[in-house]
A and B are shown apart, each in its own frame.
Chain A
Amino acid sequence: MAKLEVVQILTKKDSGRIWNVSWHPKGDVLASCGEDKCIRIWAKDLLGKWTNKIVLTDGHKRTIRQVAWSPCGNYLASAGFDATTCIWSKQDGEFECNATLEGHENEVKSVAWSKSGQYLGTCSRDKSVWIWEVAEENEYDCAAVLNAHTQDVKKIIWHPKKDILASASYDNTIKFFREDVSDGDWVCCGTLVGHDSTVWSISFDGDGSRLASCSDDCTIKIWKEYVPGNPEGVATVDNDSTWKCVCTLSGQHSRTIYDINWCPITGLLATACADDSVRIFKEDVGSDLSAPTFNLICNVEKAHNEDVNCVSWNPTAKGLLATCSDDGEIKIWNFIDN
């Protein structure tokens, strides 16, 4: 039987709800954030225990919803309910906030760096998605303000290989954005309709040809890319790929699913649910790409004492998973597949 074993529980008294955890691209450092307006940086001490090394304060005046490391690992971006995004960089061993991105009308819900490191995306309750171009040192130029969603935008992620941004919203849809090569404008190049309520989170698989989404409708959906001229004959428009829902996993979650993460190393899907559970799904070997099947292989009930807000696979250590919760705890787990 597959199982998740707790490696360590990380807590700080009175930190309140923890919204998000993010692994450094090297996998040896973890950043966390939440309603206490602080960012905590965790790393292993000499005895191999995860320890809180640094606390970053003074960046935000309100809750910090999400943190994200740049692909090079030198920068950390934080999205705040105070409508700002802060960029932190490490200089002389200390983190400093060197840029504050302003422009959103209200809460910034998510922030993400493109794989190329050239772009940063942010999204907000003001329904917009902003693309920032990384210019010189600590300079960020707004390249686009995208108003395609009709409601609160919950989460954005970049494609693992291309400069394509995906966004998930309270309007129940997922959208894709890319730069139009002819005029340099950013455009919406796809809308995925299928969820019946808020889409809280999305995650690409390792090569970016599939996307997993999770929702307040208590389902997970797997979307597959059909490139122009695909052998299956799925119609495409304007040389853009068409994304189709090829699998819906329902009946496995009893409450809102707040986060989903697709491990690029193992291909396992992990979910964070408001029923306090963490679940792991595995794709059947040899399952049909156009109608794949996934099985629940591990269900940790009471993984936390309250809602689980985030699940994140370590990018380098196989099977290492970090989760965080409304109960104020971060847990590091080891996935064992027997």
Chain B
Amino acid sequence: MPFGTQLENQNPTLYSKSADRLVTQEEYNDDIADDFDEREIFDLIRNINDPEHPLTLEELHVVRQNLISVENDKNNVFINFTPTIPHCSMATLIGLSIRVKLLRCLPPRFKVKVEVTPGTHNAEHQVNKQLADKERVAAALENSHLIKVINQCIAPRNRA
């Protein structure tokens, strides 16, 4: 555990995982344009690990498909994430992990906005402002300690 010995949220509520996405024959057809949709974005971020628990953001309901919206033609991706507790000190780190994951996976044309679900965090405005500041995000990603922690969150974990 990278952040001290005391868990902030000792007993988080667990949620069931959604089923795998059905891949249709159409999606294998290169002649049919296949736009990015909410489910695809969800699949990219659902398995990000929580920094504190050996659980995914999906299992903790930090990310949910219905809190994602995609405007493929306008290059917009908008994600709300819900910290498990309102004073979660990991909120910025979780948001940053979502941003980094999508930065690496999506084509650069996309403008990704990651914000706390309204009303679910004490410092909602502060966290949102920091996550929206690309200069501070860029500087954070040059911090070798921080990028190591983020990579640990993003990397898929082998769990029994």
Contact = CB atoms under 8 A, between A and B. Distances in A.
Contacts of B135: 65, 109, 154
Interface in A244-290: 255-256, 274
Contact of A170 (B109, B133, B139): B133
Interface residues of B, number: 12
B138 A35 contact: yes
B133 A306 contact: no
A327 interface: yes
Interface string A308-338: 0000000000000000001100000000000
Given A63-B138, A81-B139, A125-B139, A216 B132 contact: yes
22 contacts: A17-B138, A62-B142, A63-B139, A81-B138, A81-B139, A81-B142, A106-B139, A107-B139, A125-B136, A154-B135, A197-B129, A198-B133, A216-B129, A216-B132, A255-B111, A274-B134, A305-B108, A305-B109, A306-B108, A306-B109, A307-B134, A327-B108
A180 to B, nearest CB: 32
A217 to B, nearest CB: 11
A205 interface: no
A305 B134 CA distance: 16
Interface string B88-124: 0000000000000000000011010000000000000
Contacts of A62: 142
Interface of B: 108-109, 111, 129, 132-136, 138-139, 142
A42 B115 CA distance: 40
Contacts of B142: 62-63, 81
Interface of A: 17, 35, 62-63, 65, 81, 106-107, 109, 125, 152, 154, 170, 197-198, 216, 255-256, 274, 305-307, 326-327
B48 to A, nearest CB: 24
A57 to B, nearest CB: 17
A152 B136 contact: yes
A198 to B, nearest CB: 7
A5 B108 CA distance: 25
Contacts of B138: 17, 35, 63, 81
Contacts of A152: 136
Nearest to B75: A276
Contacts of A306: 108-109
Contact of A198 (B109, B129, B139): B129
Interface centre among B132, B134, B135, B139, by most chain A C-beta atoms within 10 angstroms, is: B135
A157 to B, nearest CB: 17
A35 B139 CA distance: 10
B130 to A, nearest CB: 9
A125 B135 CA distance: 10
A109 B134 CA distance: 13
Contacts of A327: 108
Contacts of A107: 139
B108 to A, nearest CB: 6
A38 to B, nearest CB: 15
Nearest 3 CB-CB pairings of A with B? A107-B139, A62-B142, A81-B139
A154 B138 CA distance: 14
Contacts of B134: 274, 307
A301 B133 CA distance: 22
Contacts of A326: 108
Nearest to A328: B108
Contacts of B139: 63, 81, 106-107, 125
Contacts of B108: 305-306, 326-327
A106 B111 CA distance: 27
Contacts of A63: 138-139, 142
Contacts of B129: 170, 197-198, 216
Nearest to B113: A255
A62 B140 CA distance: 11
A198 B126 CA distance: 12
Contact of A274 (B109, B111, B136): B111
